[in-house]
Structure 1
Amino acid sequence: MSLAARLKADEAVLSAWSTIPDSLVVETVAGLGFDVVTLEMQHGGHHEDSVLRGIPAIRQAGAHPVVRIPVGRFDMASRALDFGAEAVIAPMVNSAEDARAFAAAMKYPPVGMRSWGPTFAMPRAGETSAQQWLETANGQTLAIAMIETRQALDALDDILAVEGIDGVLVGPSDFSIAWTDGRKVDPALEEMMPAIADIAARTRAAGKHATIYVVDPRLVGRYHAMGFRFFALGSEASYMAKGATSLIETARNSIG
């Protein structure tokens, strides 16, 4: 089942967040049990070559490959899809104009202006019919616009109304900076939680997917109750730190 189908079925999915541009690391992360692995190009080290080589490792592990592109790199959105990504997350989508440019790169005509060339995507998805790919790709590849500024919040309904935008992802760290006018970074800031809940409600009312980056996994249940269904959790550094801390503590405690 595709990521699009799982979200349409209202399933909750958990995404790893990969920042290290090495296919062996991606392969290891993909085998940890996450539903999704997101390759991070905006703040992480991933680049075109590591995305190209990392996606097969994710698919082989049975997870869904997603890519977050750098700000404004809508050309990379199309390339990520041609490499085999099932979804692309675009940061700093602050207006309907931004959303239209993103959707144009993500969808084939008549919805968008994506150029034909799924040289890697079709075989990696096990698809052999170009016609079948053309007829289904727009529905099976997700354009996720990030909501992380006050401008984006003000334009949310206009962004959601853009054909070809399939959902939004809340970036709570940037959102907290915007919410406090630059005074604080706190992804769990209580005073912004009603706004985050409102984003989820408006997104679902528009028939689109509400997704969010989660720094503290204990918040997943709260966000799920708001209507979010895609949850991005931490990065390789946090997975290694948590695992190593537990391993070292258990080993030392065993000495007695």
Structure 2
Amino acid sequence: MACFTGTTCVIENIAMSGLDFIYLDLEHTNYMLDEAFEKQIMAAKLHDISVLVRMADDNEVAIRKVLEWGADGVVIPHCKTAEMARRSVEGAKFAPLGRRGGETNVRAAGFGYHNFDWNAYIEQQNRDTLVIPMDEDFEFTDNIDEILDVPGIDAVNFGPIDYAVSKQLKIGYSMGEEVHEAYKTLVAKCRAKGLGVLGPVVPPTQENLKQAIADGYNMIILGNDMWHFQKALKELVNDQVAPVRKELLGE
């Protein structure tokens, strides 16, 4: 589940719910790379849930910081070119895959405790840290082979809404034909390379979940905290409050 509120108690509730990972957002929120955002990562790690962070861009310093703070992977929005994907890998992975700078006094390295070993740390981070560019622009499809050929990419996050926006198409919960074709192309090419495909399922009904899995998603975002909160409020007002108000006030 994605988290837009950044509230630690909400993050902890998502972590304790039984879901597999939490998707923290730096693109569409007012959070910056500061101690408050580090606290969001710490709240999730406290309950041993995996953490992905959607970055604001491909800035290598920002990528390095969230990974050193303990995130398990980074999602790079609006990745339109292989060069942008390559910069993202360089910021997230150590040589030979990238050029990430190293330091022991960070959470990801256990702050150098417990017989810290540089070689083991580098190997573990390169193996387990995920770099996930977003396919949410028509340019990604135009350049898909070059992007997926970049060593160090682990999965791709499909964004149907922004993809439709980039093509100036009508937007809805279900994919239009042109967006669906781009998605099918992505799935086929990712499968051929052993890459994961991440994407949203909204609304997260059993039927939609099963269809998403059948279509090729193997990493699924079940909406976000604000969407679920708003849904609960609408149901409360429409199903519980409105009938009582109508009865009492004749509205």
TM-score above 0.5 = yes
Matches within 5 A, 1:15-94: 16-49=1-34, 50-94=36-80
Q: Which residue of 2 aligns with 1:193?
A: 180
Given that 1:177 and 1:186 are in contact with CA atoms closer than 8 Å, whether structure 2 keeps it comes out as no
Matched position secondary structure for 1:52: helix
2:200 to 190, 213, 221: 213
| Residues 156-212 of structure 1 deviation map (CA, whole Å, 9 limit, x = unaligned) | 11111101111110011001112xx32433352331223212211211111111111
Paired residue type of 1:213: P
Q: 5+ unaligned residues in a row in structure 2: which ranges?
A: none
Describe how 1:216-235 pairs up with structure 2 within 5 A.
216-218=203-205, 219-235=208-224
In structure 1, stretches of 5+ residues that fail to align are 1-15
Give per-residue Cα distances to partners, 1:40-85, cap 9 Å, x unaligned: 0001233223331111211222311110000233321111110100
Contact preservation (8 Å) 1:74, 1:102? yes
Rounded to whole Å, the distance in 2 between the matches of 1:104 and 1:24 is: 33
Distance 2:162 2:211 in 1: 19
Q: Which has the higher contact order (CA 8 A, sep 6+)?
A: 1
Q: For 2:135 and 2:100, how far apart are their aligned partners in 1?
A: 23
Do residues 163 (structure 1) and 151 (structure 2) align?
yes
Which string of whole-angstrom CA distances, capped at 9 and with x for unpartnered residues, describes residues 92-140 of structure 1?
111111111111001001110000025112339x975233212211010
Corresponding residue number in structure 2 for 1:3 = none
Q: 2:160 aligns with which of 148, 163, 172?
A: 172
Q: Identity over the aligned pairs, expressed in percent?
A: 26
**Is residue 137 from structure 1 mapped to residue 125 from structure 2 by the alignment?**
yes
Find the counterpart in structure 1 of residue 140 from structure 2.
152
Question: What is the total number of aligned residue pairs between the two structures?
Answer: 238
Q: Distance in 2 between matches of 1:155 and 1:115?
A: 29
What is the distance in 2 between the residues matched to 1:251 and 1:183? 37
